[in-house]
């Protein structure tokens, strides 16, 4: 009888083929990233002209003042010192402000891509008081130019502003001007001139409609900020430096959610009510983890501003799910190759290297099918379609490779268990590492037990079958 390769050589070939298959698996991983980037581009096209991810703040009261500065110049070879008046700005945050936001979300779709958009109604009140210890900051009351004061409101993407924007100081409706917003929104927003002498509290009421997409963030300012957000969206995600008081209580309620951010004080913000420079922009990450606002180094030497953010997320992010599933691809290749190897060296099925390779290519193709179908019919249905297709293909192929449907049924059962397990791992993210490590331990123990009597250096095919019978 012709002597077959030794089990050690077969193990080496199977491992080598498995290592080679990591290359197309990495290519699939790159494909997922590329499709996700295309999805973000498509979502940006969907929301173009509507409004992007919004960051709002305000109001802040800006009061110009004249400051005396000493300047030294060289005139006719002599150093001449003179005093000049320099115009500067004092930034006064509200003593207290309350903001209410009503978010009405919608989903826009173009081809196979979807993006969450929303309309919001913003209403708020604020009260400004000039501190009695103003001179401690190096500015006296008589330096302030009250007749040139203005209120600034920040909106990061002013394209989303709709009709009905109104600001009232006392009972008077103010005339609004575009731009000249706070530095925390890179100057985007709107402003209005106000008349105030600083003796009494300045009461401000405002309202405006705002369109945006995917998320809305607030930069709180002042002695105390309260923010209440209501929306029928069932899957909010709360991010940023502050979380709502009732976080999680209504996060998956079929009627939507209500988020209350109560009592964010200037002590928590780490900011004084009076500043000689405007607050810088926060470092805000979008729904995909990319930084969308980060102008802080160019605006101020102060630390980045704190913010609170609410994201309207999809219940299942298909790209992150596919991305995570691809990372488990080596388990599918390893478990399937281990079964083939056991039938080869223990039961004498004689699996060729090409058959290992074709089977591995089929296992990698599963993830391509999963990605392609998920973009059209959703992740759950795509997973069912791709897994059923691959189980059927590899089970039929195994019947020819292993020499019988009984052995092929074992491969089919193993694959079914693997795909079910992977779906569970994707659903239980917190437990995925523990479950995966236990499965690997069980698989290793099974292989070690089944091959405990094998002579790895020179066992023949006939001896393999005898060892299999003894092990049974």
pTM: 0.71
Q: Is the dihedral of CA 141, 226, 314, 112 positive or negative?
A: negative
For tokens 């607030």, what's the residue?
218
Q: DSSP assignment, residue 182?
A: -
**Between residues 192 and 52, the one the model is more confident about:** 192
pLDDT at 418: 81
CA separation for the pair 179, 153 (Å, rounded): 9
CB atoms near residue 451 (< 10 Å): 17
Banded pLDDT at 51 (limits 50, 70, 90): confident
Residue-wise pLDDT tens digits, 34-45: 888 877 777 777
CA separation for the pair 376, 346 (Å, rounded): 44
CA separation for the pair 441, 445 (Å, rounded): 6
pLDDT at 142: 84
CA separation for the pair 326, 370 (Å, rounded): 10
CA separation for the pair 243, 324 (Å, rounded): 28
CA separation for the pair 368, 30 (Å, rounded): 11
pLDDT at 218: 93
Banded pLDDT at 430 (limits 50, 70, 90): low
Q: Would the pLDDT of 327 be above 50?
A: yes
Q: Would the pLDDT of 26 be above 90?
A: no
Banded pLDDT at 315 (limits 50, 70, 90): low
User: Which of 472, 367, 373 lies closest to 426, judged by CA?
Assistant: 367
pLDDT at 209: 93
Residue-wise pLDDT tens digits, 226-249: 999 999 988 888 888 898 987 544
Residue-wise pLDDT tens digits, 365-401: 888 998 888 888 888 888 899 999 988 888 888 888 7
% residues pLDDT > 70 (the chain): 83
Distances (CA, A) of 400 to 340, 395, 397: 12, 9, 5
CA separation for the pair 191, 196 (Å, rounded): 15
**Between residues 266 and 402, the one the model is more confident about:** 266
CA separation for the pair 279, 258 (Å, rounded): 28
Q: Classify burial at 320, counting beta carbons within 10 Å of its beta carbon; exposed 0-12, middle 13-18, buried 19 or more.
A: middle
Distances (CA, A) of 428 to 82, 84, 436: 72, 67, 11
pLDDT at 400: 81
Distances (CA, A) of 135 to 23, 94, 300: 68, 18, 22
* Strand 308-312 to 215-219 pairing: antiparallel
pLDDT at 214: 87
For tokens 């209501």, what's the residue?
230
**Between residues 23 and 253, the one the model is more confident about:** 23
**Between residues 301 and 33, the one the model is more confident about:** 33
Contact by Cβ (8 Å): 124, 25: no
Domain boundaries, the chain: 7-39+318-451, 54-312
- Residue 159's contacts (CB-CB under 8 Å, 6 or more residues apart) are 49, 50, 51, 52, 211
Give the H or E element holding residue 62: strand 54-75
Size of the chain, expressed as the number of residues it contains: 472
CA separation for the pair 64, 152 (Å, rounded): 13
Q: In what order do the strands lie in the sheet with 224-231?
A: 172-173, 166-169, 202-213, 113-128, 96-110, 224-231, 257-265
CA separation for the pair 227, 100 (Å, rounded): 6
Residue-wise pLDDT tens digits, 71-127: 676 766 677 676 677 788 899 999 999 999 999 998 887 777 778 889 999 999 999
* Mean pLDDT value across residues 422-445: 75
List the end-to-end C-alpha distance of the chain, in Å, as a whole number: 24
Q: Would the pLDDT of 469 be above 70?
A: no
Interior angle at CA 440, CA 437 and CA 443, nearest 5: 150
CA separation for the pair 410, 391 (Å, rounded): 11
**Between residues 67 and 301, the one the model is more confident about:** 67
Interior angle at CA 30, CA 26 and CA 34, nearest 5: 165
311 pairs with which residues across the strands?
A: 215, 237
Contact by Cβ (8 Å): 66, 90: no
pLDDT at 119: 92
pLDDT at 207: 94
**Least confident interval from 60-69, 156-165, 279-288:** 279-288
């Amino acid at each position: 009888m012709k002597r077959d390769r030794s089990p050690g050589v077969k193990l080496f070939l199977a491992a080598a083929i498995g290592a080679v298959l990591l290359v197309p698996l990495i290519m699939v991983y790159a494909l997922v990233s590329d499709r996700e980037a295309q999805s973000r581009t498509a979502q940006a096209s969907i929301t173009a002209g509507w409004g992007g991810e919004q960051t709002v703040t305000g109001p802040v009261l800006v009061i110009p003042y004249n400051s005396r500065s000493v300047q030294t110049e060289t005139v006719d070879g002599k150093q001449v010192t003179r005093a000049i008046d320099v115009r500067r700005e004092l930034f006064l945050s509200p003593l207290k402000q309350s903001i209410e936001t009503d978010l009405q979300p919608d989903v826009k779709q173009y081809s196979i891509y979807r993006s969450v958009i929303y309309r919001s109604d913003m209403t708020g009140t604020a009260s400004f008081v000039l501190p009695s210890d103003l001179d401690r900051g190096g500015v006296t009351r008589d330096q302030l130019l009250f007749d040139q004061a203005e209120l600034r409101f920040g909106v990061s993407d002013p394209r989303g502003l709709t009709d009905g924007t109104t600001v009232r100081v006392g009972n008077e409706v103010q005339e609004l001007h575009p731009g000249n917003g706070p530095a925390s929104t890179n100057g985007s927003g709107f402003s209005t001139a106000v008349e105030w002498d600083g003796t009494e509290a300045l009461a401000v009421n405002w309202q405006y409609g705002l369109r945006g997409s995917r998320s809305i963030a607030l930069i709180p300012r002042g002695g105390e900020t309260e923010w209440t957000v209501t929306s029928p969206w069932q899957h909010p995600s709360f991010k940023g430096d502050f979380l709502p008081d009732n976080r999680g209580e209504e996060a998956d309620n079929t009627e939507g959610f209500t988020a209350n951010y109560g009592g964010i004080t200037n002590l928590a913000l780490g900011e004084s009510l009076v500043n000689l420079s405007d607050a810088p922009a926060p470092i805000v990450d979008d729904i995909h983890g990319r930084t969308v606002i980060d102008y802080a180094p160019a605006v101020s030497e102060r630390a980045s501003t704190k913010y609170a953010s609410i994201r309207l997320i999809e219940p299942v992010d298909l790209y992150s799910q596919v991305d995570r599933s691809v990372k488990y691809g080596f388990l599918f290749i390893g478990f399937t190759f281990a079964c083939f190897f056991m039938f080869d060296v223990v039961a004498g099925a004689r699996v060729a290297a090409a058959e290992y390779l074709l089977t591995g290519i089929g296992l990698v193709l599963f993830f391509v099918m999963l990605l392609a179908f998920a973009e059209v019919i959703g992740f759950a249905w795509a997973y069912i379609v791709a897994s059923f297709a691959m189980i059927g293909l590899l089970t039929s192929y195994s019947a020819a490779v292993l020499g019988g449907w009984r052995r092929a049924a074992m491969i089919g059962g193993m694959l079914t268990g693997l795909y079910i397990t992977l779906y569970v791992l994707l659903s239980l993210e917190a437990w995925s590492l523990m479950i995966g490590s236990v499965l690997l331990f069980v698989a290793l123990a099974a292989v070690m037990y089944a091959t405990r009597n094998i002579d790895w250096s020179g066992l023949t095919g006939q001896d393999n079958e005898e060892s299999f019978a003894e092990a049974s």
